[in-house]
Structure 1
Amino acid sequence: MPSRDGSSRLIPRSPEVPVNRPPAHILMVSIPAHGHVNPSLAVITELVARGHRVSYVNDPSFREVVESTGASFVPYPTKLPLTDDPAGWPSDLVAIQEVFLDDTLSMWPVLLEAFEDDRPDLVLYDIGGFAGRALGERLGVPVVQLSPAFVGWEGFEEDLAAMFEPMRNGPGGPEHYRRYADWLVEAGAVQRDVEGFKNRPERCVALVPRALQPNVDRVDEQRISFVGPCFGDRAHQGEWQRPAGAEKVLLVSLGSAFTHQPAFYRACVEAFGDLPGWHTVLQVGKHTDLAELGEVPDTVEVHRWVPQLSVLSQADAFVTHAGMGGSSEGLFHAVPMIAVPQAADQFANADALVGLGVARRLDTEQATAEALRAALLELTGDPAVAERLAELSAAGRAEGGTTRAADLIEAELRVS
Structure 2
Amino acid sequence: MARFLMTAMPFTGHVLPLCAVAQALVARGHDVRFYTGGAFRARVEASGAVHVPWRDAPDFDENDLRATFPRLEGRKGLRQVFLNLEDVMIDTAPAQVADLQAEWDREPWDALVTDDTSIGAALFADRSGCPRATIAVLPLNLTSRQGPPSGMGLRPGRTPLTKARDAALRGIAPLAMRPLTKPIVRARVAVGLPPATLTFEQTVLSPQRILASGSPSLDFARTDRPAHLDFVGLLAAPPATAPTDLPRWWGDLDGRTVVHVTQGTQNIDPTDLIRPALEALAGRDVLMVVATGVRGRNELPFPVPANARVAGFLPYDALLPRTDVVITNGGWGGTLTALSHGIPLVIAGGDLDKPEIAARVAWAGAGVDLRTGTPTAARVAAGFERALTDRTMRDAAARVAAELSSLGGAPRAAELLEGFAARAGR
TM range (shorter): 0.7 to 0.9
Q: Is the 8 A contact 1:125 1:132 kept in 2?
A: yes
Q: Please say if 1:182 is aligned against 2:192.
A: no
Q: Please say if 1:112 is aligned against 2:101.
A: yes
Q: Is the 8 A contact 2:232 2:413 kept in 1?
A: yes
Q: Please say if 1:165 is aligned against 2:179.
A: no
Please identify, of 389-398 and 80-89, the stretch whose mean Cα deviation from structure 2 is larger. 80-89
Q: Please say if 1:233 is aligned against 2:223.
A: no
Percent of aligned positions that are identical: 21
Deviation at 1:110, TM superposition (A): 1.1
Residue type of the partner of 2:288? T
Deviation by residue 1:90-118 (Cα, 9 ceiling, x = unmatched): 63665444322221111111111111341
Q: Specify the alignment match of 1:216 in structure 2.
A: 222
Q: Give the 5 Å matches for 1:186-197.
A: 186-187=192-193, 194-195=198-199, 196-197=202-203
Residue type of the partner of 1:143? R
Measured at CA, do residues 62 and 316 of structure 1 come closer, stay the same or move farther in structure 2, by a change above 3 Å? Answer: same
- Corresponding pairs, count: 385
Q: Give the 5 Å matches for 1:281-296.
A: 281-286=289-294, 290=299, 292-296=301-305
Q: Specify the alignment match of 1:136 in structure 2.
A: 125
Measured at CA, do residues 198 and 192 of structure 1 come closer, stay the same or move farther in structure 2, by a change above 3 Å? Answer: farther
Deviation at 1:125, TM superposition (A): 0.8
SS at match of 1:31: coil
Q: Please say if 1:312 is aligned against 2:320.
A: yes
Q: Once superposed, what is the RMSD of the aligned Cα atoms?
A: 2.8
Deviation at 1:238, TM superposition (A): 3.0
Please identify, of 36-45 and 126-135, the stretch whose mean Cα deviation from structure 2 is larger. 126-135
Measured at CA, do residues 108 and 42 of structure 1 come closer, stay the same or move farther in structure 2, by a change above 3 Å? Answer: same
Residue type of the partner of 1:377? E
Deviation at 1:284, TM superposition (A): 2.0
Q: Is the 8 A contact 2:181 2:197 kept in 1?
A: no
Q: Please say if 1:84 is aligned against 2:72.
A: no
Q: Is the 8 A contact 2:94 2:187 kept in 1?
A: no
Among 98, 106, 113, the residue aligned to 2:86: 98
Deviation by residue 1:346-390 (Cα, 9 ceiling, x = unmatched): 101101111111211224576333322222222221221222222
Q: Name segments (4+ residues, structure 1) moved above 4 Å.
A: 92-95, 155-163, 239-242, 363-366
Q: Give the 5 Å matches for 1:28-47.
A: 28-47=6-25
Measured at CA, do residues 342 and 83 of structure 1 come closer, stay the same or move farther in structure 2, by a change above 3 Å? Answer: farther
Q: Specify the alignment match of 1:66 in structure 2.
A: 44
Q: Is the 8 A contact 2:234 2:337 kept in 1?
A: yes
Residue type of the partner of 1:394? A
Deviation at 1:41, TM superposition (A): 1.3
2: distance between equivalents of 1:365 and 1:30?
Answer: 26
Q: Is the 8 A contact 1:150 1:214 kept in 2?
A: no
2: distance between equivalents of 1:361 and 1:315?
Answer: 19
Unpaired segments ≥5 residues, structure 2: 151-167
Residue type of the partner of 1:122? A
SS at match of 1:134: helix
Q: Is the 8 A contact 1:262 1:292 kept in 2?
A: no
Residue type of the partner of 1:267? P
Q: Is the 8 A contact 1:337 1:359 kept in 2?
A: yes
Residue type of the partner of 2:395? E
Residue type of the partner of 2:121? G
Q: Is the 8 A contact 1:25 1:122 kept in 2?
A: yes
Q: Please say if 1:52 is aligned against 2:58.
A: no
Q: Please say if 1:350 is aligned against 2:350.
A: no
Measured at CA, do residues 367 and 66 of structure 1 come closer, stay the same or move farther in structure 2, by a change above 3 Å? Answer: same
Deviation at 1:162, TM superposition (A): 4.9
Measured at CA, do residues 97 and 246 of structure 1 come closer, stay the same or move farther in structure 2, by a change above 3 Å? Answer: same
1: distance between equivalents of 2:353 and 2:269?
Answer: 19
1: distance between equivalents of 2:111 and 2:52?
Answer: 16
TM-score (structure 1 length as normaliser):
0.83
SS at match of 2:86: helix
1: distance between equivalents of 2:331 and 2:300?
Answer: 27
SS at match of 1:255: coil
Residue type of the partner of 1:107? Q
Please identify, of 174-183 and 380-389, the stretch whose mean Cα deviation from structure 2 is larger. 174-183
Q: Specify the alignment match of 2:369 in structure 1.
A: 361
